[in-house]
Structure 1
Amino acid sequence: MSRLFSAYVIVDWSAAAKPSTGADSVWIGVMKRDVRFRLAYESHNPATRAEAEKKLAEILDDLKKRGERALVGFDFPLGFPRGLAAGLKLPGELPWRAVWDQLDKMVKDKADNTNNRFGVGSEINRRLTGGPFPFWGCPPKDALTTLQPKRTKAHGPDDLPEFRHADLAAKGASSIWKLYYNGSVGGQAILGIPAVRRLKLARGEALRAWPFETGFKPLTEADLAGVEVVVAEVYPSLYKAQPAPGEVKDQAQVRVTAEHFAKLDEAGKLAAAFGPGKGAPAEVVLDAEREEGWILGVPA
């Protein structure tokens, strides 16, 4: 079985409100082949999301010139729990795309990292429930009637789910509704999804977002004909990363995650990881493909 990819790019995103490097900032890890076709690793630590987006475009342009297909893994959800698009009455046949388009309209993320992620969470809450739910978590100074620093209630049977199917399968994943404090992927998703959308618009059909545009199924070379980039959600905490001397934890995590997927692909096992696993309920597969997305490498 041949490899699906020649390069593996892992992005540890950040929702920081000012430029920052080192711990808790954006890290981009790139595992690609050198002139002797051996895998070589490099990492980048841009100070802002705007710089990270530019660097990522440069990396992908370089790989395209070399005729190399890349897997790009982002460490935040590419979709929200089922029902968000319907709850917001968004137009379109594809709930995931409708949410991407809506976020793109709402998010303001400036070159110096100042952003309105709490305002976006608050406005979505207002449209969904008129109160501080389901999004929660912000500094006290950013509190509003429709966004509170702490969780105000638990998710009931009639509410949008607290977790996606993938979050429950991954065990330990945070809820996307949490916008602040440790492990808050919500802010990263709000700011990250528009960046992925721009990558997609720039590259068109040459970039496919998994599982939305590929199907939640094992991928073959035929599935990827003409495809230069597959974008997927990854969860670096699943892989035990021991920082090397001089490495911060995030830097080690992107490296180890890139190594993990490169090894899987080399062994001919990565293709199957794009599928749901035996016995996955049909509705889980459908929700993942239409709306919620999935975490690559987590069995459904």
Structure 2
Amino acid sequence: MTHDPRFDTVIAVDCSSGNDRGPRPTADAIWTCIARAGQAQTPVYHRNRALAEAYLIDTLADELAAGRRTLAAFDLCFAYPSGFAQALTGHADPLALWDWFAARVQDAPKSNNRFALAGQINARFPGTGPFWFNGLKSDIPDLPRTKADYGDHGLPEFRGADMAAKGAQSPFKLGGVGAVGGQVIMGLPTLSRLRARFGADIAVWPFQPADRAITLAETYFSLLPAALAAEAHDIKDAAQTALYARSFSALPPAQMARCLDVPASDEGWVLGVGSEDILAAAQLTPPPLRNDCFAMPQGAHWTPVETALAHLRDRLSPVTATQTIPLVKAAGRILAAAVAATRSHPPHANAAVDGYAFAGPLPAGPHTLPLHPGRAAAGVPFDGTVPPGHALRILTGANIPDGTDTVVLQEDVSANATHIALHGPLKQRANARRAGEDMMAGDAVLPAGRRLTAADLATLAACGTGQVSVRATLRVGVLSTGDELRDPGTPATDGQIYDANRAMLLADVAGWGHTPVDLGRAPDDRDKLRTILTGAATRCDAILTSGGASAGDEDHVSALLATTGSFALWRIAVKPGRPLAMGLWDDTPVFGLPGNPVAAQVCALIFAHPALAVLAGADWPARQSFTVPAAFAKSKKPGRREYLRARITDGAAEVFPSEGSGRVSGLSWATGLVELPDDAADITPGTPVTYLPFTGFA
């Protein structure tokens, strides 16, 4: 059977046989998650099957309209042990069995007939079974409550795939730990209707070739370790959809083909069983960048800065693995998955001040309230109910006691052992924080792609998050090229220069939150440079080179990248800078920067800084800029965007006297860059200009 293993989108679906679960996201419900190229979106909660089915129809229709091939992977048995479909429908075709169930299952948000239907099916078979377990209070004819005396019905309890997947349960088991039978009965009608809705555009693997726009497949959400699923979401069902959508979408076509290559059988198969090793590896390692990720559209000789930035933003994706670490160790790390609040913050209404709690409001005028015995303190809630018209001593942070909702500041009260006296008016719930007024349990707190700050750690800790899924730190190699370079502190002739770029770029990489890897210097020798790049690709996630990035005789970086099929020499309409060499060396992205230090720094800040952030798994960084008056005069020609070394003096931007890209001392003098537009401009003192502080790139 011929399959097409290339999928643009993966939708993972966690099914449920239960009734409507209400508006608040919860476990044992229906969850879905979409992923593309190893990047999972936030899992989506569906309170009942009708809403989930409508969502799937809309989503699959959108993917179809967008021209994307879609794999929909359901944690649901697509078939029963061999012989069941033939005995029940007269046909061995499991897809005919889907239609059989669709015609008989009754499903409303608050009730369904799965147990009654299972009993009716059992009545058609000899002995006891094949279904067992009754979750209702009333007995159902022919449906045993337990597996006692189960048997003699003529069918195997498990499919071959169930026995191959460690821990898988029988589709005949309707309840108890790990039971899947109920959700199979309730899920097959949905699959039947999806087939009817999408017709020739949909295939069901492995019964049909996976070569259509939409492929439905069965999977098992326990193939990968539970610890991996826990990283993505506080609710395990949601976490598993994200894990499996991400893992399947990250598989290269050759490895997906291996997963799809199973013998045809009327029992079907579980996608990933027998290929757990490559599925786990795909979960940990993002897919490589496309070989043409740096290729610019043909026709433009000079590429505007904004076009180049947009191209990087649209074509790059994370290349770092994910890992779960304790929250206290997560400062500066990039979230690999969105985090939802484990519980509300505060979890209970509590006092904002030290004082007395009572049931408000109080009208204007003097009031005297009897004191109820006891008190409420933070961590030691009051055990009981405060009678109407009474007050209770309460301390800051304590839970608001039952029978009260308002707190008066102790400084506004006269008190003795039995009563308090105060003046109104006092609004109801004054000085009381509402439960969940900061965050509600289940609320999205922080998105994937965010680099965690100290404040973020406090926010996550407050809502109960103990561990987070983060990206591994991006390892960025820095390599200088050129025979003329020498290491600082070593002897150098008049024809040689000290390597300023490597120290600068290594510091840049560290300041941007990545791990710098010093690759040293490469001579103007193509074979030696090839060896260095090949070694660097094994221990770096990205490489920055300086020098050799143009098209001259000694521009060996460009020459080597040109042999990979991924090379792009960008002629950027920028000053200083212009030539940028981009490409992949052994699937590792290489950014070839200019050799002159000022040009190398400007290009690193403007282009490499945001590109590396995306490769590391972060969002494309918003550039920090300020509009300030100029303290200089300049007549700028059209055609190139210009960056001038600048600093702020008395609120205005002063620029370095020389624009030469070899004047490295100007970088130390400056505190940022003035960005001049692509068009012509006449700058005089007082003209508004855009200032980019160096601190904005940290």
TM-score by length of 2: 0.37
- Relative distance call for 1:40 and 1:12 in structure 2 (3 A) is closer
CA–CA distance in 2 between the matches of 1:3 and 1:80? 26
- Relative distance call for 1:245 and 1:79 in structure 2 (3 A) is closer
Match of 2:254 in 1: 268
Structure number with greater CO (CA < 8 Å, separation at least 6) is: 1
Q: Is the 8 A contact 1:242 1:252 kept in 2?
A: yes
- Relative distance call for 1:77 and 1:115 in structure 2 (3 A) is same
Per-residue Cα deviation, 1:48-94 (whole angstroms, up to 9, x for no partner): 10000011111111111211011000101010110012222x244x5
CA–CA distance in 2 between the matches of 1:39 and 1:123? 44
CA–CA distance in 2 between the matches of 1:45 and 1:61? 19
Give the letter for the 2:234 counterpart. Answer: E
CA–CA distance in 2 between the matches of 1:258 and 1:46? 17
Q: Is the 8 A contact 1:239 1:253 kept in 2?
A: no
Give 1:154 deviation, angstroms.
4.6
Q: Is the 8 A contact 2:80 2:171 kept in 1?
A: yes
Per-residue Cα deviation, 1:198-239 (whole angstroms, up to 9, x for no partner): 00000011100011122xxxx6xxxx1xx1110000101111
Match of 1:31 in 2: 35
Match of 2:215 in 1: 230
Give the letter for the 1:184 counterpart. Answer: A
CA–CA distance in 2 between the matches of 1:275 and 1:173? 21
Match of 1:182 in 2: 177
Q: Is the 8 A contact 2:115 2:140 kept in 1?
A: no
Per-residue Cα deviation, 1:142-182 (whole angstroms, up to 9, x for no partner): 432301211133546x7200000100111210011101122
Match of 1:171 in 2: 166
Structure with larger Rg? 2
Give the letter for the 1:271 counterpart. Answer: A
Match of 1:133 in 2: 129
CA–CA distance in 1 between the matches of 2:7 and 2:239? 22
Q: Is the 8 A contact 1:132 1:152 kept in 2?
A: no
Counting aligned pairs with the same residue, the percent is 34
CA–CA distance in 2 between the matches of 1:116 and 1:243? 33
Give 1:97 deviation, angstroms.
2.4
Match of 1:250 in 2: 237
1:232 counterpart SS class:
strand
CA–CA distance in 2 between the matches of 1:242 and 1:206? 31
- Relative distance call for 1:109 and 1:140 in structure 2 (3 A) is closer
Select the structure that is richer in strand: 2
Q: Is the 8 A contact 2:107 2:113 kept in 1?
A: yes
**Aligned residue runs from structure 1 range 275-294, under 5 A:** 275-276=261-262, 285-286=263-264, 288=265, 291-294=266-269
Q: Is the 8 A contact 2:98 2:191 kept in 1?
A: no
Q: Is the 8 A contact 1:132 1:145 kept in 2?
A: no
Give 1:246 deviation, angstroms.
5.3
Question: In the comparison of the two structures, how many residue pairs are matched?
Answer: 268
Q: Is the 8 A contact 2:114 2:186 kept in 1?
A: yes
Select the structure that is richer in helix: 1
**Aligned residue runs from structure 1 range 196-207, under 5 A:** 196-207=191-202
- Relative distance call for 1:274 and 1:242 in structure 2 (3 A) is closer
2:206 counterpart SS class:
coil
Q: Is the 8 A contact 1:49 1:113 kept in 2?
A: no
- Relative distance call for 1:71 and 1:245 in structure 2 (3 A) is closer
Q: Is the 8 A contact 1:31 1:42 kept in 2?
A: no
2:193 counterpart SS class:
helix
- Relative distance call for 1:206 and 1:137 in structure 2 (3 A) is same
CA–CA distance in 2 between the matches of 1:212 and 1:229? 14
Give 1:125 deviation, angstroms.
0.1
CA–CA distance in 1 between the matches of 2:10 and 2:19? 28
1:22 counterpart SS class:
coil
**Aligned residue runs from structure 1 range 148-167, under 5 A:** 148-155=144-151, 159-167=154-162
- Relative distance call for 1:3 and 1:175 in structure 2 (3 A) is closer
Q: Is the 8 A contact 2:36 2:249 kept in 1?
A: no
Give the letter for the 1:32 counterpart. Answer: R
- Relative distance call for 1:184 and 1:117 in structure 2 (3 A) is same
1:97 is matched with which residue: 89, 95, 110? 95
Q: Is the 8 A contact 2:223 2:273 kept in 1?
A: no
- Relative distance call for 1:210 and 1:117 in structure 2 (3 A) is same
- Relative distance call for 1:3 and 1:213 in structure 2 (3 A) is closer
**Aligned residue runs from structure 1 range 46-61, under 5 A:** 46-61=46-61
- Relative distance call for 1:60 and 1:113 in structure 2 (3 A) is farther
- Relative distance call for 1:207 and 1:141 in structure 2 (3 A) is same
Ranges in structure 2 where 5+ consecutive residues have no aligned partner: 276-698
Give 1:295 deviation, angstroms.
0.2
Match of 2:112 in 1: 115
Per-residue Cα deviation, 1:123-144 (whole angstroms, up to 9, x for no partner): 1001122x64110012251432
CA–CA distance in 2 between the matches of 1:51 and 1:119? 24
1:72 counterpart SS class:
strand
RMSD of Structure 2 on Structure 1 (CA)? 2.1
CA–CA distance in 1 between the matches of 2:178 and 2:223? 14
Per-residue Cα deviation, 1:18-41 (whole angstroms, up to 9, x for no partner): 3343111000011136xxxx8452
Match of 2:343 in 1: none
2:132 counterpart SS class:
coil
CA–CA distance in 1 between the matches of 2:16 and 2:232? 23
TM-score by length of 1: 0.83
Q: Is the 8 A contact 1:118 1:142 kept in 2?
A: no
**Aligned residue runs from structure 1 range 66-85, under 5 A:** 66-85=66-85
